[in-house]
Structure 1
Amino acid sequence: MPHSSDRHRTHGGVIHHARGYEIVSMLAFGGFRRHTYDALVRASGAEPGDRVIDIGCGTGYLTRRAAVAVTPTGTVTGVDPSPQMLAVARRLAPPTCTFTEAGGERLPVADGTAHRVVSCLAFHHIPPELRVDAVREMHRVLRPGGRLLVADFRPPRARLAQHLLGAVTGPAMRYDGSDEVRAAVAAAGFRDVTTGRQRPLLFVVTATRP
């Protein structure tokens, strides 16, 4: 979504314009959105019967794709601070999905009850001073042996491409947060932390709760 200043790189931000977000997301993935999100779900290890928590779920696209993987007996809970985004998510989701309004730094989820925690294109929206807390919350809600997957935008390396991207999406999407995410995940006590990529747009950090 377009932003007017560098505040979103420094302070994060909540998206409230669900329709605009959906349009930008579909254009950004160039027809490969479903393929990309299904690959993220596979990388999370989600399987039938799992309980999955989707942090910063937005309009619930990843939530819905995860629901396909955990059927028929699993569930997916989407968490997002924007009521506007959640209204769209609830309208589009199957019965195996539920949604709750909250920030990632204070999850309304009991300790050790999730098999998987996933998050895509949300980390850079969390205010920097709350990002470590959010990752600790991800650790808290996972069961021992549970798997974490955090994916976020990976800006292009070419300076011209970065400039063009920033003109369309705002400065937050020019920031590569992969090192910050990896450090926060390791500091929270996760093990087997790995970093990869999913298509040109995303970096992906995965880890396991001991």
Structure 2
Amino acid sequence: MALGRLLHGDPQYDTDGTAIGHGRGYELFTTIAFGGRRDRAFTRLAALSGARPGDRVLDVGCGTGYLTRRMAAAVAPNGTALGIDPSTQVVDHARHLATGLAGCTFERGIAEGLAAPDASFDVVVSSLMIHHLPAEARSQALAEMYRVCRPGGRLLVADFRPPSSRIGRHLVGAAAGPAMEHNPIGQLTALVRDAGFTDLAVGDLRPWLRHVTAVRPAARQDPA
């Protein structure tokens, strides 16, 4: 099986995007791809999210739950971290990996239509998911993240940052497919801003991640 097909499987019946089809294979691939820096990078993402003990966290497009588990640790002992992903197989694998971890749960769901009430989470995060969606669905996914984030709550979105060199991009394309080779990472900031988030901050984590943090503006307080 080609690695690109492994990372970007068949479209799911209720989303226009693609989904990871093989949880164990994806875990192996990403461990190798991060060259020993995966734990450091995702622990840093959890810290950058601003999540605090007791917070309710949603991880959109959680895959095998690598970031979700770190978010659960960040909000312990009384917080919760829910990961959602369109792939039933991957959700099952994520549940297995999180066995015994309090406050960490997983459900099947899609980024473009989150099955959660308005303003129901303190922190919304997403990593390595946006490039799985077709361009026309990305704005809808960010709009949904805005909707379920409480006023004053925080957002963290991280996605794959292709190499700057042509050879590097070609190697990425050969290994993981065109979605990663040609990922328009420069558009990520505008997607977050256009969804309504403010106080944006942008940064990179080696070797492959660009992250954007932001805040959903607090509800306006009308004078008495």
What's the TM-score bracket when you normalise by the shorter of the two chains? over 0.9
| TM alignment of 1:8-27, pairs within 5 A | 12-27=17-32
Which deviates further from its counterpart, 67-76 or 166-175?
166-175
Partner residue of 1:54 out of 29, 35, 59: 59
User: Displacement of 1:106 after TM fit?
Assistant: 0.7
For structure 2, list consecutive stretches of 5 or more residues without a partner in the other structure.
11-15, 218-224
Name the SS of the counterpart of 1:156 in structure 2.
coil
Contact 1:63/1:97 (8 A) holds in 2 = yes
Contact 1:178/1:205 (8 A) holds in 2 = no
For 1:119 and 1:146, the matched residues in 2 are separated by 14
> What is the count of residue pairs matched by the alignment?
207
For 1:195 and 1:95, the matched residues in 2 are separated by 31
For 1:77 and 1:7, the matched residues in 2 are separated by 23
Contact 2:9/2:21 (8 A) holds in 1 = no
Partner residue of 2:202 out of 195, 198, 202: 195
Specify the structure having the higher radius of gyration (Cα).
2
Aligned to 1:117: 124
The one-character-per-residue Cα deviations of 1:28-80 (angstroms, maximum 9, x if unpaired) are: 11111111000000000011001110000011110001111110000000010
The alpha-carbon distance between structure 1 residues 65 and 7, as it changes in their structure 2 partners (threshold 3 A), is closer
Amino acid at match of 2:126: S
User: Displacement of 1:119 after TM fit?
Assistant: 0.5
| TM alignment of 1:49-128, pairs within 5 A | 49-93=54-98, 94-128=101-135
The one-character-per-residue Cα deviations of 1:142-163 (angstroms, maximum 9, x if unpaired) are: 1111111110000111111111
Greater RCO structure (CA 8 Å; 6+ sep): 1
| TM alignment of 1:134-173, pairs within 5 A | 134-173=141-180
User: Displacement of 1:12 after TM fit?
Assistant: 4.0
For structure 1, list consecutive stretches of 5 or more residues without a partner in the other structure.
none
Contact 1:155/1:173 (8 A) holds in 2 = yes
Aligned to 1:184: 191
For 1:84 and 1:146, the matched residues in 2 are separated by 31
User: Displacement of 1:7 after TM fit?
Assistant: 11
Name the SS of the counterpart of 1:30 in structure 2.
coil
Name the SS of the counterpart of 1:197 in structure 2.
strand
The alpha-carbon distance between structure 1 residues 34 and 7, as it changes in their structure 2 partners (threshold 3 A), is closer
**Structure 2 length-normalised TM:** 0.87
Q: Report the identity percentage.
A: 51
Aligned: 1:35 with 2:40: yes
Large movers: runs of 4+ above 3 Å: none
User: Displacement of 1:16 after TM fit?
Assistant: 1.0
**Structure 1 length-normalised TM:** 0.93
Name the SS of the counterpart of 2:36 in structure 1.
coil
Superposed CA RMSD in Å reads 1.8
